Structure 1
Amino acid sequence: MANTSSRRFSKAPIIGALIGALAVAGYVAMTRTTPAPDVTFIDLKGQKVSTESLRGKVVMVNFWATSCVTCVKEMPQMVDTYNKYKGQGLEFVAVAMQYDRADYVVNFTETRKLPFTVALDSGGDIAKSFGDVTLTPTTFVIDKSGKIIKRYVGEPKFADLHKLLEKELAG
């Protein structure tokens, strides 16, 4: 009996490692091949920007809310990131969640002088298109071919984000 159970336990780490490797491979394949949804953002001035029109550029799409403490905390670093990489072709769209009041979003954008596109998701359609985003902040990095290459839920580690952006912008 002891011999049989020791064989069973000796296979468990191998099976676990295989399952883990398959999960990682599946995640990497999925994130590198998932196209960004075709959506049209409407900025605070009523201008339309589509994901289709942004192809050929590296794009960050940040879902946020004025009532989200982490969103407010990370926003200065998002501004710094955009300012650091915009000259290399980075585009940035900050999408205010459906439940966020438009006047709060306008006030936040103006008082903090946000330098990138700020869009309202009044109907919640954009959040749904990006995989039903409900947690804020959630940020997507989209490569030049329009594929989602990274999704951050919560505040990203900005050093890692910058490395990823540098790699993608250079490519």
Structure 2
Amino acid sequence: MNIKQSIAIIALLAATVWFWQTQPARPAPRVSFKTIKGANITPADLKGKPVLVTFWATDCPGCIEEIPHLIELHRQYSQAGLTIIAVAMHYDPPNHVLAMAEAKQLPYAVALDPSGSLAQNFGNVQLTPTTFLLDRNGRIVMQKVGVFDLRDMRQRLQAID
């Protein structure tokens, strides 16, 4: 493969990612989340609230990098109604998820997805981290593969209010 072909492939991939992440708002799947603390978060619980759903894994460096940002967003916006749900990928052993949640003292909801059905319902999520921002009407207004930018996320959250 020559340099021109490599550049063309990179440009095509960048355009695909940009398009995929800037699609118009669409309804979020109506799913329930079972947390590691035994709670069941239903669509009714989320009605009228902004929601951040992030798919992650305990062995994902980008996911670990995002944890302080998620904690900060939780502290800054939870009083305004923001719900953060971190969904562990189906291949992540539950004991690893529990240990990390405890070690990092995660203040937001952490859910397991042992069957992979949550990832499937959110568009067959395969890569971590993958983050979805839902507005107060339950529409996905942002989808990001890879580590999200904290400043951009704050701006998006402020725009929802």
Structure-2-length-normalised TM-score: 0.85
CA contact (8 A) 1:36 1:51 kept: no
CA distance in 2, matches of 1:98, 1:41: 13
1:78 and 2:64 correspond: no
Contact 1:38 1:52 in 2 (8 A): no
* Contact 2:21–2:143 (8 Å) recurs in 1: no
CA contact (8 A) 1:63 1:136 kept: yes
Letter aligned with residue 153 of structure 1 = V
Q: Does 1:31 align with 2:33?
A: no
Give the residue type in structure 2 aligned to 1:158: L
Matched, 1:68 2:63: no
Root mean square deviation of aligned Cα: 1.9
Q: Distance in 2 between matches of 1:39 and 1:149?
A: 17
% of aligned pairs identical? 38
Residue aligning to 2:43: 51
Moved over 6 A (4+): none
Change (3 A) 1:57 1:130: same
What does residue 149 of structure 1 align with?
Answer: 141
Return 5+ residue gaps in structure 2 as ranges.
1-14
State the structure with more CA Rg.
Answer: 1
Q: Which runs of 5+ in 1 are unaligned?
A: 1-19
**Length, aligned pairs only:** 145
Shift of 1:157: 1.1
- Give the 3-state SS of the residue equivalent to 2:126 in structure 1: coil
The structure in which a higher percent of residues are helix is 1
Match in the other structure for 1:100: 92
Distance in 2 between residues matched to 1:27 and 1:82, nearest whole Å: 23
